[in-house]
């Protein structure tokens, strides 16, 4: 990239020719080749030699002594984000499950009721950097909705924003409940509301997001969240133990350290490229406040990718490997013993791993697109014994 | 009204001036107090502008001198270098009010000879990019560098002009037609320099903070300089001979200041990849300037010191230019200087043309300024400058 750019210089000299002595050689050679003014060139180069040398030697002294530069600590955003003003905290979002209000339907099913309100809200996505977001319940990502396979889910949606919105849930449901324009209730105008209702199926690590048009803008403005459907162990006798470990509230689930991460990005200057990448919105949030992990308890991450403008995102764990369940819809891993996983837009999965027996300390994880990592999607686990 | 006011007592006359002024103040107050734009729903977001006026590269990283230029104070929230968020220091810290400037210090392990891109991210997420085309350490102010740049200025300014002046004995042997050709050639070369200087000035002006309106400044500086020099030059009649030569030298000197500026600044940002080739180009280019300066002197005897003075006036500004360009560069000031230079050149064009015209009217055979000799001279001047300019593209 750098070389291509430098190569376009009008003088057509080699991009490495920043040092005058080298370029002087190039210039001289070209001149002689052209047979033009060869003698004059020699003469003048003799005259100018003291100048060229004085100049060329000088940068030697100034050459970047990398020891002067705090290279390791250098790559970061500067300052701190005011999470209180934002009204949400990425460290809290990690484990902040919303199981809704419990009730019972007339046919005896368990009913889970939620209220999601679309709110226009300016949020601080990196220190001092504000983004005019559209949010569900004032936070990005929206509440992590967590239910159990077979539950009746009822979502009361209120549009308190300035644009028509919807909620489109990933899962199996009727066309009417799909939350897309022109089908069922379609777009919900500002000030209006609608109740989406369906059975939670299949189990897995899912998503919900606004499906109003223009789609790209409605999504990357912040209208999305995780929708986790825990497996009902009774329905999976052949993998009962795995199912029990995923069921929130079960004793088998208690020993797991479960985290939810939505990989996202923000285009702040409308160039269809993201200026900030993160897991759970705030650039470098878990770099500045590493995620506390107890060494001897296994870790499960519900990971999803809601980044816009880029085809894929990824998750790379340092010094360790994990098992991966694509979409979370299986109880046996779809990939075993990997340290990097790639997700397309809206793809998600469950990661399971453990630091058992590891040396306590800080372990990195980040997108293995260097660009994303350098623009904020870079994090740390703080493993404690 | 005016006749009557002439007879008024002084106090009453003052009142006539104070009254409208008071009304103006009242109008501004009324505008600010009532916000007449409110019914228009004008809650447009503040327009943010940021200009990087100067960049310094050293062993501690990049240092950018930036100037805010928006309707509201703006805040540099984050800094990206080559697409990565990077540590930085603002000096002074905090938001920048309109036209306030600050240094952004970025400790970055840059790579010599490579391109780096610094992106300044404002609080609202706008990005102002500054490219460092070829990273090399910015020359710091040392005596040896000062001398090196002075030497370079001498090579591109004083030396070629002096070489051009050496044609003087030959020029004296030319007849009346030869002299006319020569003056026409001078007009041609000046025409080229005028266009070149204005173009450079406007380009630099575009790089300055918008509020300075530097492009207008270039034109205004050119116009005022032109008028000022014209009036000064004509105080004792139409300048000719040594006086005209001095005006020529001054105009060309101001142009050479611009050339020096461009060279110094280019070296400072590592963009000069031409080395001594550049010097050859400038030398050839500027020899023509020396010939032009010598042209008005051919009709009379001139002292040796006159030539020294002319060479110094036309050539030494190049030295100042290289220093200024290398050590203290700011686009708005450079644009102003080039505007002044353009005005000075225009004045000389007018004066040389007037001189040529008076010579032509004395010449019985030609009798007319619109001769092929003169046309050929102007064309030769422009073409020679254009061709030698190929050798000099900073």
Using CB atoms, pick whichever of B85, B127, B133 lies closest to residue A376: B85
Grade residue B327 by pLDDT with cuts at 50, 70 and 90. confident
A326-347: per-residue pLDDT in tens?
Answer: 999 999 999 999 999 999 999 9
Average pLDDT taken over every residue of chain A: 86
Distance CA A327, CA A312 (A): 15
Residues of A with Cβ-Cβ distance to B123 under 8 angstroms: 128-130
Distance CA B197, CA B216 (A): 15
Please tell me the predicted confidence (pLDDT) of residue B145. Answer: 84
Which residue of chain A comes nearest to B128, CA vs CA? Answer: A269
Nearest partner of A190 among A224, A166, A216, judged by Cα: A166
Using CB atoms, pick whichever of B58, B78, B144 lies closest to residue A128: B78
Å from A13 to nearest chain B CA? 7
Using CB atoms, pick whichever of B148, B155, B275 lies closest to residue A27: B275
State phi, psi for A35 to the nearest 5 degrees: 65, 15
Touching check for A130 and chain B: CB below 8 Å?
Answer: yes
Query: Where is average pLDDT lowest: A22-36, A229-243, A283-297?
Result: A22-36
On whether the CB atoms of residues B50 and B120 are closer than 8 A, the answer is yes
The runs of H, that is alpha helices, within B130-175 are 143-153, 159-165, 168-172
Touching check for A55 and chain B: CB below 8 Å?
Answer: yes
Average pLDDT taken over every residue of chain B: 85
On whether the CB atoms of residues A354 and A298 are closer than 8 A, the answer is yes
List A204's β-bridge partners, or say none: A229
Nearest partner of B47 among B100, B118, B119, B126, judged by Cα: B126
Q: Pick the residue with more confidence: B188 or B240?
A: B188
Q: How many CB atoms lie within 10 A of CB B95?
A: 16
Residues of B with Cβ-Cβ distance to A45 under 8 angstroms: 275-276
Å from B219 to nearest chain A CA? 28
Of B44-53, B129-138, B219-228, B326-335, the range with the highest mean pLDDT is B219-228
Grade residue B42 by pLDDT with cuts at 50, 70 and 90. low
Query: Where is average pLDDT lowest: A73-87, A322-336, A347-361, B36-50?
Result: B36-50
Using CB atoms, pick whichever of A18, A31, A37 lies closest to residue B270: A18
Q: Which residues contact B44 (CB under 8 A, 6 or more apart)?
A: none
Q: Pick the residue with more confidence: B31 or A150?
A: A150
The runs of H, that is alpha helices, within chain A are 2-7, 20-33, 38-62, 71-74, 83-86, 90-93, 215-220, 240-246, 251-254, 285-288, 370-374
pLDDT for A42 beyond 60: no
List A342's β-bridge partners, or say none: A314
Please tell me the predicted confidence (pLDDT) of residue A46. Answer: 55
**Is 0.95 topped by the overall pTM?**
no
Nearest partner of B254 among B192, B191, B320, judged by Cα: B320
Using CB atoms, pick whichever of B83, B135, B147 lies closest to residue A375: B83
Q: Pick the residue with more confidence: A19 or B174?
A: B174
Nearest partner of B83 among B134, B118, B46, judged by Cα: B118
What is chain B's alpha carbon radius of gyration, rounded to the nearest angstrom? Answer: 26
Using CB atoms, pick whichever of A1, A6, A37 lies closest to residue B134: A6
pLDDT for A35 beyond 90: no
On whether the CB atoms of residues B352 and B244 are closer than 8 A, the answer is yes
Structure tokens at B277: 């080739």
Please tell me the predicted confidence (pLDDT) of residue A268. Answer: 94
Q: What integer is the mean pLDDT of B163-182?
A: 87
Residues of B with Cβ-Cβ distance to A8 under 8 angstroms: none
Which residue of chain A comes nearest to B281, CA vs CA? Answer: A41
Q: What is the dihedral of CA B51, B53, B56, B60, to 10 degrees?
A: -30
Grade residue B71 by pLDDT with cuts at 50, 70 and 90. confident
State phi, psi for A260 to the nearest 5 degrees: -115, 135
Among B60, B108, B111, B273, which would you mutate to test the A interface (most chain A Cβ atoms within 10 Å of its Cβ)?
B273
Residue A110: which H helix or E strand, with range?
strand A110-126
Distance CA B243, CA B356 (A): 15
B40 to each of A55, B36, B37, how far by Cα in Å?
59, 8, 5
Grade residue A72 by pLDDT with cuts at 50, 70 and 90. very low
Touching check for A371 and chain B: CB below 8 Å?
Answer: yes
A349-372: per-residue pLDDT in tens?
Answer: 999 999 999 999 999 999 999 999
Nearest partner of B144 among A375, A33, A55, judged by Cα: A55
Touching check for A33 and chain B: CB below 8 Å?
Answer: no
Please tell me the predicted confidence (pLDDT) of residue A88. Answer: 97
Q: How many CB atoms lie within 10 A of CB A68?
A: 13
Residue A306, SS3? coil
pLDDT for A202 beyond 90: yes
Å from B89 to nearest chain A CA? 9
Angle between helices B214-233 and B176-207 (to 10 degrees): 150
On whether the CB atoms of residues A197 and A147 are closer than 8 A, the answer is no
Residue A90, SS3? helix
The runs of H, that is alpha helices, within chain B are 2-6, 10-34, 143-153, 159-165, 168-172, 176-207, 214-233, 241-268, 276-294, 304-327, 331-362, 372-389
Please tell me the predicted confidence (pLDDT) of residue A224. Answer: 98
Å from A327 to nearest chain B CA? 31
pLDDT for A162 beyond 90: yes
Using the Cα atoms of residue A49, residue A51, residue A56 and residue A60 in order, give the sign of their dihedral: positive
Å from A372 to nearest chain B CA? 8
Please tell me the predicted confidence (pLDDT) of residue B171. Answer: 86
């Amino acid at each position: 990239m750098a070389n291509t750019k430098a190569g376009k210089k009008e003088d057509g000299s080699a991009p490495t020719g920043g040092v005058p002595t080298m370029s002087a050689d190039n210039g001289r050679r070209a001149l002689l080749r052209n047979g033009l003014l060869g003698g004059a060139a020699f003469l003048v180069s003799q005259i100018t030699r003291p100048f060229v040398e004085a100049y060329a030697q000088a940068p030697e002294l100034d050459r970047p002594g990398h020891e002067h530069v705090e290279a390791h600590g250098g790559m970061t955003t500067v300052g701190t984000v005011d999470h209180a003003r934002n009204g949400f905290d990425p460290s809290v979002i990690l484990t902040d499950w919303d199981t809704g209000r419990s009730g019972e339907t007339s046919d005896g099913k368990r009913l889970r009721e939620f209220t999601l309100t679309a709110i226009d809200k300016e949020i601080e996505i990196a220190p001092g950097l504000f983004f005019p977001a559209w949010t569900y319940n004032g936070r990005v990502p929206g509440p992590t909705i967590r239910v159990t396979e077979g539950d009746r889910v009822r979502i009361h949606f209120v549009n308190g924003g300035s644009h028509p919105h919807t909620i489109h849930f990933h899962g199996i449901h009727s066309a009417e409940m799909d939350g897309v324009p022109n089908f069922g209730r379609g777009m919900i105008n500002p000030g209006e509301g609608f109740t989406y209702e369906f059975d939670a199926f299949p189990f897995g690590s899912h998503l919900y997001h606004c499906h109003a048009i223009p789609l790209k803008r409605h999504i990357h403005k912040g209208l999305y969240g995780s929708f986790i459907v825990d497996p009902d162990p009774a329905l999976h006798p052949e993998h009962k133990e795995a199912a029990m470990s995923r069921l929130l509230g079960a004793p088998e689930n208690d020993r797991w350290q479960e985290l939810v991460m939505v990989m996202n990005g923000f285009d702040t200057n409308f160039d269809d490229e993201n200026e900030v990448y993160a897991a759970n919105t705030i650039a470098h949030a878990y770099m500045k406040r590493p995620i506390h992990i107890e060494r001897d308890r296994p870790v499960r991450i519900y990971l999803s990718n809601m980044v816009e403008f880029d085809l894929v995102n990824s998750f790379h764990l340092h010094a360790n490997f994990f098992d991966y369940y694509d979409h979370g819809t299986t109880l046996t891993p779809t990939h075993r013993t990997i340290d990097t996983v790639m997700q397309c837009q809206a793809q998600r999965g469950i990661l399971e791993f453990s630091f058992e027996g590891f040396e306590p300390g800080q372990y990195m994880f980040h997108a293995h697109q260097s660009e994303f990592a350098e623009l904020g999607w870079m994090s740390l686990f703080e493993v404690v014994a | 009204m005016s006749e009557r006011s002439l007879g008024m007592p002084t106090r009453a006359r003052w009142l006539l001036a104070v009254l409208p002024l008071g009304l103006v103040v009242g109008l501004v107050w009324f505008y600010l107090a009532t916000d007449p734009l409110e019914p228009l729903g004008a809650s447009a977001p503040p327009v943010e502008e940021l200009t990087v006026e100067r960049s310094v590269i050293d062993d501690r990283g990049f240092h950018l001198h930036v100037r805010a230029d928006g309707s509201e104070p703006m805040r540099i929230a984050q800094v990206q270098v080559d697409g990565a968020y990077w540590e930085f220091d603002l000096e002074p810290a905090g938001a920048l009010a309109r036209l306030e400037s600050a240094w952004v210090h970025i400790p970055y392990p840059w790579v010599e000879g490579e391109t780096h891109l610094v992106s300044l991210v404002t609080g609202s997420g706008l990005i102002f990019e500054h490219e460092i085309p070829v990273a090399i350490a910015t020359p710091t102010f040392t005596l040896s560098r000062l001398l090196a740049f002075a030497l370079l200025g001498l090579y591109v300014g004083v030396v070629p002009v002096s070489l051009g002046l050496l044609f003087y004995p030959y020029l004296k042997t030319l007849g009346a037609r030869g002299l006319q050709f020569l003056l026409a050639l001078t007009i041609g070369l000046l025409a080229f320099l005028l266009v070149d200087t204005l173009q450079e000035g406007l380009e630099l002006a575009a790089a300055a903070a918008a509020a300075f309106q530097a492009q207008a400044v270039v034109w205004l500086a050119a116009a005022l300089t032109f008028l000022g020099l014209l009036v000064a030059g004509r105080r004792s009649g139409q300048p000719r001979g040594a006086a005209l030569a001095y005006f020529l030298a001054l105009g060309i000197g101001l142009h050479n200041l611009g050339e020096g500026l461009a060279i110094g600044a280019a070296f400072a940002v590592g963009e000069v990849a031409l080395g001594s080739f550049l010097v050859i180009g400038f030398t050839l280019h500027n020899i023509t300037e020396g010939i032009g300066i010598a042209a008005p002197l051919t009709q009379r005897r001139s002292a040796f010191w006159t030539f020294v003075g002319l060479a110094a006036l036309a050539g030494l500004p190049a030295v100042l230019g290289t220093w200024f360009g290398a050590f203290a560069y700011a686009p708005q000031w450079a644009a102003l200087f080039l505007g002044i230079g353009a005005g000075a050149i225009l004045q000389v064009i007018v004066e040389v043309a007037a001189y040529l015209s008076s010579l032509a009217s004395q010449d019985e055979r030609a009798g007319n300024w619109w001769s092929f000799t003169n046309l050929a001279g102007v064309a030769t001047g422009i073409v020679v400058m254009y061709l030698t300019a190929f050798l000099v593209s900073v």
